[in-house]
Structure 1
Amino acid sequence: MSGYASIRSAQSDTSSRPNSTASMSRRPRRKENGHHGQASWLSSVINLVNTIVGAGVLAMPSALSNMGIFLGIFVIIWSGITSGFGLYLQTRCARYLDRGNASFFALSQITYPNAAVIFDAAIAIKCFGVGISYLIIIGDLMPGVVRGFTDTPAAEYLLDRHFWVTAFMLVVIPLSFLRRLDSLKYTSIIALISIGYLVVLVVYHFAKGDDMGLKGDISLSPDKGIVPVLASFPVIVFAYTCHQNMFSILNEIEDNSPFKTGSVVLASIGSAGSIYLLVAITGYLTFGDNVAGNIVAQYIPSVASTIGKAAIVVLVMFSYPLQVHPCRASVDAVLKWRPAGRKQPDYASANGSPSRSTLLNPASNAQRGRGEMSDRRFAVITTVIIILSYIVAMTVSSLSVVLAYVGSTGSTSISFILPGLFYYKISSPDSPHHQRLLKEDDDEEADGEGESAAGGWNSGSILRKLSLALAIYGFLVMIVCLITNTFFVVAH
């Protein structure tokens, strides 16, 4: 994934390159419609890493035990590459939309308008389910944290999961009402500190050789059969899911140049992949094939391991608002959706190619109310999401089966299928948007913002074929995961 900068087509006619005056006049289009991003590069990376890395990092050693060291490491790296490519395609697709208005819904309006409601519904359900799982984790872990910090019998309510779900809701509710994702950067920093502690805890026990006499065999290759391998595959693949927040990051980042947005993807995926590899390898080498699904729960009860459980609580608590943010946007898009007309007007600029401001049908956008939600609508949708997630978390103690199916469909859709299909459709040579992108890439290269076209990275050749391959890969992952989930449901 070295092609993070915008690269013009090698086959495009050089005579179509505009002069320097025209190029300079196009520069301000990075801040169209009065929209100016305020998020820094670092805060964007922090929020994206926090969206990626969750409590699932503690299941990496168990996944490695089922796959063996070599295959497990390969799958972790491969999953990071494919997810990173999906993020990169999102950065490319966002260039077709007005600055600050990129979203799955907006892209679907110029690619697959009648399927927009399905895409956003899948995203909303996926984020809603993950948010509920975070509340359930808090309710399950906090009684154990209380027991670990006191030698005397605790009050009965302190051991009640319902009390802790309610108590932590008071913390996450104000955070869930923040409009901008960048506003969560400080809570994301706290969450990343919690992740850092968990990583240090796992590495420390490995360095100390603290296996409590439970260490099993170390497998270099998978020797437990195909079923455990397939069962662990979704754990690793879905561990990189963060694509639901990528468009918000692209909308809010101060410098949305291809190099900066590409480096956000590279830094985020690279950081998450490094954390997964470190925890997976050291955790597996500590306990071997006897490693548990949650490695922290396997350590001898102590202050350090109790703090580790508390760190998990802090991590998922501050990750909950990161799920509410895309869920709210998708619910809003679903409520605004209307079937597309039979024929969309062809809006074009004076030079015959569609401008960025007219890529979306203005009449359609006015009808759908494109733009920020009103305060009342924002408050109502957020309140409904919070109340429903609270009710479900209080009444259901396990969503493992439901989340398995939601993850198999929702995560694969937003990570692989949609980015691949969107870019493949929008970059088609027959698309009216294709020529505009080529001309803009020419402008950026003329201004020194692009790279050489050597290597053929252009929207009409290799990148477009790879985007289709990513979508096909996503469908295959979905099928494998659904079959695996069904097998385990029947088996249990």
Structure 2
Amino acid sequence: SAYAIPTMAFSFLCHTSVLPIYCELQSPSKSRMQNVTVTGIGLSFLIYFMSALFGYLTFYDKVGSELLQVYSRYLPHDVVIMTVKVAILFAVLLTVPLIHFPARKAVLMVFFSHLAVSWMCHILVTLALNTIVVLFAMYVPDIKNVFGVVGSTTSTCLLFVYPGLFYLKLSREDFISPQKLGACALVIFGICVGLLSLVLIIYNWMDQ
């Protein structure tokens, strides 16, 4: 599927939360942050894997892009399904501030850095971002479209392209060193995967 790699890239995109989490550590250090990162990504992978595995084993080729909705069609009043929905609701509510904080800060730095810090600007940007999110949630028919487009553009850039470019920019090693060649390969891989996935997604939309 054209959505597979972009969705996986989107799923493991946690860059925006790294700095806030690092600042909250009791004794911030590179090793501690690495342990937090490995643990967090490992747990996320385990949850994703178990959900995908049992979703596929339950519905096979009938599995949808939103697994809970598929379960709800067959078990609309099941206590376990309702409990999972409530758990996801709380998870999303608690995750939004972590994602919203860097997004708002980026908007303020890019578009309003020339203005003095004010609560009015802060509130207006917050309302604008929340409005955009709500409109997307209301009018985008399938969440896989969001995952696909964002995953093939921003996620591939943040996961593959930008880290490689930063390394090439900051490293003082020879260009033919294994590390720089690896960084070049990472950049090329990210660009190719992102462009190919985006083209396939757009073609899929046109074909439908």
Task: Report TM bin, short chain.
Answer: 0.7 to 0.9
Alignment partner of 1:466 is 2:182: yes
Q: What's 1:398 paired with?
A: 141
CA–CA separation in structure 1 for the residues paired with 2:28 and 2:188? 29
Is residue 413 of structure 1 aligned with residue 157 of structure 2?
yes
Who is 2:171 aligned against?
427
Q: 1:249 to 1:375 in 2, by over 3 A?
A: farther
- Give the match's secondary structure for 2:65: coil
- 8 Å contact 2:3–2:148 — kept in the other structure? no
Task: Kindly indicate whether residue 125 of structure 2 is the aligned counterpart of residue 381 of structure 1.
Answer: yes
Q: Per the alignment, do residues 397 and 235 of structure 1 end up closer, same or farther by CA in structure 2, a change over 3 Å counting?
A: closer
1:361-380 equivalent positions in 2, closer than 5 A: 374=117, 376=119, 377-380=121-124
Name which of 47, 51, 54 aligns with 1:279. Answer: 51
Partner of residue 289 from structure 1, selected from 46, 51, 61: 61
Aligned with 2:195 (options 466, 479, 485)? 479
- Whole-angstrom CA distance in 2 between matches of 1:252 and 1:420: 27
How well do the aligned residues superpose, as a CA RMSD in angstroms? 3.1
Q: AA paired with 1:274?
A: L
Q: How is 1:149-188 mapped onto 2 (pairs within 5 angstroms)?
A: none
Q: Matches of 2:27 and 2:178 in 1, distance apart?
A: 27
Look up the match of 1:489: 205
Distance 1:335 1:231 in 2: 32
Q: Which runs of 5+ in 1 are unaligned?
A: 1-227, 338-367, 431-459
SS in 1 for 2:3: helix
Query: Could you tell me how far 1:252 is from its partner in structure 2?
Result: 4.2
Task: Give the structure 2 partner of residue 239 of structure 1.
Answer: 11
AA aligned opposite 1:322: L
TM-score of the aligned structures, taking structure 2 as reference length: 0.78
- Secondary structure at the aligned position of 2:195 is classed as helix
- In structure 2, how many angstroms separate the alpha carbons of the residues matched to 1:330 and 1:419? 18
**What is the CA distance between 1:393 and its match in structure 2?**
5.1
1:329 to 2:72 alignment: no
SS in 2 for 1:256: coil
Q: Tell me how far apart the structure 2 counterparts of residues 293 and 395 of structure 1 sit (CA, whole Å).
A: 16
Q: Aligned residue pairs: how many?
A: 201
Decide whether aligned partners of structure 1 residues 315 and 306 sit closer, same or farther in structure 2, where only a CA change above 3 A counts.
same
Structure 2 spans left out of the alignment, 5+ residues: none
**Aligned residue in 2 for 1:259:** 31
**Which of 72, 75, 99 is residue 300 of structure 1 equivalent to?**
75
1:63-102 equivalences in 2 (<5 Å):
none
- Is contact 1:244–1:414 with CA below 8 Å preserved after alignment? no
Offset at residue 281 of structure 1 (A): 2.3
| CA distance in structure 2 between the partners assigned to 1:402 and 1:263 by the alignment | 30
Q: How does 1:319-358 map to 2 (within 5 A)?
A: 319-335=95-111
Match of 2:22 in 1: 250
Q: Letter of the 2:17 partner, please give it.
A: N
Secondary structure of 1:412's aligned partner: helix
User: For residue 300 of structure 1, what is the amino acid of its counterpart?
Assistant: L
Q: Could you tell me whether the CA contact under 8 Å between 1:416 and 1:473 is conserved in 2?
A: yes
Contact 2:10–2:147 (CA under 8 A) maintained in structure 1: no
**Identity of matched residues, %:** 28
Change (3 A) 1:236 1:333: same
Letter in 2 for 1:466: G
CA drift at 1:416 = 1.8
Inter-partner Cα distance in structure 2 for 1:334 and 1:308: 38
8 Å Cα contact 1:424-1:465 kept in structure 2? no
The CA distance in 1 between the partners of 2:108 and 2:49, in whole Å, is 37
Distance 1:248 1:419, change over 3 A: farther
Following the alignment from structure 2 to structure 1, what is the Cα–Cα distance between the partners of residues 32 and 197? 34
In the superposition, relative to structure 1, how do residues 306 and 381 fare at CA in structure 2: closer, same or farther (>3 Å)?
same
- Which one of the candidate residues 228, 248, 270 is aligned to 2:42? 270
The code of the aligned residue for 2:63 comes to V
* Aligned 8 A contact 2:7 2:148 in 1: no
1:382 CA displacement: 2.4
CA deviation string 1:200-228 (max 9, x = no partner): xxxxxxxxxxxxxxxxxxxxxxxxxxxx3
Q: How far is 1:399 from its partner?
A: 6.8
Cα distance, 1:317 vs. partner? 2.8
Pick closer, same or farther for the CA change 1:283–1:402 going to 2, 3 Å.
closer
Whole-angstrom CA distance in 2 between matches of 1:422 and 1:309? 40
Q: Which has the higher helix share?
A: 2
Aligned equivalents of 1:399, 1:295: Cα separation in 2: 12
C-alpha spacing 1:288/1:386, structure 2 compared with 1 (3 Å): closer
> Deviation above 6 Å: which 4+ runs of structure 1?
none
Distance 2:138 2:37 in 1: 38
The structure with the larger Rg is 1
